[in-house]
Amino acid sequence: MPAITLAGKQFDVDENGFLQDPAQWSDEVALGLAQTEGIEKLTDEHWKVVRYLREYYMKFHVAPSIRMLCKQTGLPLKQIYQLFPSGPAKGACKLAGMPKPTGCV
């Protein structure tokens, strides 16, 4: 299993660099994962998306629908793509320390 060093600690990740154990997530880990996505700095808007995803995931064990994410954060999809160039289901979910949504997505 691949591993990655974030904030001086080792973490198991999947082939796409998603954290294997969502419980290991912290703000520092999110900052480290941002680097792997080529995101230099996390703005308030980044955090708004990440925290919403995280909160939803902890409650429902899955990512929210993209429409709900946009509505609840007040950010249009286009802007979410600007914040997370690989998209909400990839970049944003990765930073939130949750598994990569797979299926017909």
Partner 1 sequence: MQAPPLKPNAAAGAHHHRANPTLLAALGLPTEVPADWRARALTKFDELLHTRRSLKLYLDTCVRCGACTDKCPFFLGTGDPNNMPVARAELLRKVYRRHFTAAGKLFGPLAAGEELTDAVREQWFTYFYQCTECRRCAVFCPFGVDTAEITMAAREIMASIGLATKYVSEVVDKAHTIGNNIGIPEAAWRDTCRFLEEELKEQTGADIKLPVNQAGAEVLLVPPSADLFTNTDTMMAYGKFFHALGVSWTTSSYASEAGNFGMFLNYEHLKKVNRRIVDAARQLGVRRLVMGECGHAWRAAQAFTDTLNGPLDFLEKPRPEHILEYAVRVIRQGRLKLDKSANDGLAVTYHDPCNLARAGGIIEEPREILRLIARGFREMPADTIREKTFCCGAGAGLLTDEIMETRFAGVKPRIEAFCASGATHLAVPCAICKAQFPVAFEHYRIDAQVVGVMDLLAKAIVL
CB 6 within 8 A of CB 29: yes
∠ CA 51-9-22 to the nearest 5 degrees? 35
* Identity of the residue, 15 or 44, whose beta carbon is nearer to partner 1 in the bound complex: 15
Residues 45-74 that bind partner 1 (CB under 8 A): 59-68, 71
Residues 10-39 that bind partner 1 (CB under 8 A): 15-16
Active site residue 104: yes
DSSP assignment of 48-69: HHHHHHHHHHHHHSSPPPHHHH
Kindly list the catalytic residues.
104
Site residues (CB under 8 A) for partner 1? 1, 15-16, 59-68, 71, 89-90, 101-105
